[in-house]
A and B are shown apart, each in its own frame.
Chain A
Amino acid sequence: MTKVQFYGEPPPGIDQEWLPGRLIAIEGTDGVGRSTIISILRDYLEANGWGVVDSGLRRSPLVGPGIDQAKEGHTLDPITLNLFYATDFWDRFERIMLPALQAGMVVLADRYIFSLMARAIVRGAAREWLEQIYGFALIPDQVIYLDIDAEDLVLRILERGFDFWESGGDYLHDRSIYDGFMQHQREQLHEMSAMAERYDWDIVDARGTIEEVFEEVRQAVMPTVESMSRP
């Protein structure tokens, strides 16, 4: 059973004290391989009889389309952008994650509140403000952090191409896309590593092959998953 505990003030509308499911958040920066790992992990867990739901950023029916549209304009200030993402997170939590946890499923969150906070912090938003807002988030059973450094990360990005926002294009105007990417990612990684320590996450070295990373993640999450009654 998952004890219902929040980082801050409990949000309205959640009465349970315990949830039968398990919430596992996979954190890591842009392009580190989270979605690949989650998709393999989901297949693996389902093949073993566990019910699994995954949820990634911008997939909320309420806000998803709005964020995509707003980001096209490249004019979003960090506070508005962050509040869009906070709404997206909450909507997915209430609509997808919470019902799955109530139904006894394993929820694999592709990023949690931490990426959102790190992104906003490097763009100048106040840490205290972010911690207050994201206090509404349920404390997950486990957070897996896919760890990488900017030098190894950029080699992967070169193959798939740079993204405006992942390179801090909205706030690092005077940099080349490469320099912008390196600076933005270094700062974001710095924030994430500090959180990994502070919140005691399970750290997985993401520089290996997909098979290697998956195996490490699998070993890390299985005790959490198996602490539910076996299917």
Chain B
Amino acid sequence: MSTSEDFMDLPGRLIVVEGIDGSGKSTQLDLLHKWLRSEGYVTVFTEWNSSPIVRDTTKRGKRKQLLTPMSFSLIHAADFASRTHEQILPALQAGVIVLADRYIYTAFARDAARGVNRKWVRDLYSFAPPPDLALYFHVSLEESIRRIGAARAEIKFYEAGMDLGLSEDVSESFRLFQGRILEEYDTLCDEYDITRVDAHQSLVSQQVLVRELVEPLLEDMPRREITNVPTHMQTGYVSLAAGGGL
């Protein structure tokens, strides 16, 4: 089991993005990823809920609506543990850059919004290495709903927090649940060393800020020789990625 001291010697860098659905965090991380690669940095990308060992169980739980606040919390922790063991820690040990789309703060915010004890969730994730940079893309509920509405036809059961019985109406439940998550994120920004990014700004100016924040972390990071890379990769032009979300 790891303790916080064990993480001190990890030569890699861990950069994570957080925010509610529709905050644009995945787009920003994707642009950062492309830029870093174009600069020759070795990067490992990991996203929430994607462990090959655990993902299928979570999917089944969601499809059959078998998940309750506690099992939802636990299975996501299992997914995260598996990715920590197989992707995140090895990459940090190898001294490269890890980019994580959502990290432990997602669990802290969502699980607390589902009524799970806050201290319990923090203890649950105590095996996680602390990030070198955590960016929180803050967006208002109205703006996130506007963006999601444009990108997605329907909101999923657990995304809307329908398991909590806040409202029979999916849109209303989504609004209430995401509102709770926003409040949790606000608290988390005070509790942890998390950098707030105003996600209402233009996509390009956000990316400029992100790169400024990342640059000091790049010192000593190994780089590859860049050859035959298409021009747009080298300069890191901003191109819009399709809205992801979970």
Contact = CB atoms under 8 A, between A and B. Distances in A.
A and B: bona fide binding partners:
yes
Interface of A: 8-13, 61-63, 65-66, 69-70, 73, 75-77, 79-80, 83-84, 86-87, 90-91, 94, 124-126, 129, 132-133, 135-136
B189 to A, nearest CB: 24
B68 interface: yes
Given A62-B71, A79-B84, 15 more contacts: A10-B117, A11-B117, A62-B61, A66-B54, A77-B82, A80-B82, A83-B77, A87-B74, A87-B75, A90-B71, A90-B74, A94-B68, A129-B123, A132-B126, A136-B70
B210 interface: no
Nearest to B67: A62
14 contacts: A12-B116, A13-B69, A62-B67, A66-B57, A70-B53, A70-B54, A76-B82, A77-B85, A79-B84, A129-B1, A132-B120, A132-B123, A132-B124, A136-B70
Contacts of A80: 51, 53-54, 78, 81-82, 85
Given A80-B54, A87-B74, A126 B1 contact: yes
B117 A90 contact: no
Interface of B: 1, 3, 51, 53-54, 56-57, 60-61, 66-71, 74-75, 77-78, 81-82, 84-86, 114-117, 119-120, 123-124, 126-127
A102 B85 CA distance: 39
Contacts of B82: 76-77, 80
A117 B115 CA distance: 25
A77 B75 contact: no
Given A84-B54, A87-B78, A129-B1, A79 B127 contact: yes
B158 to A, nearest CB: 13
A1 B74 CA distance: 29
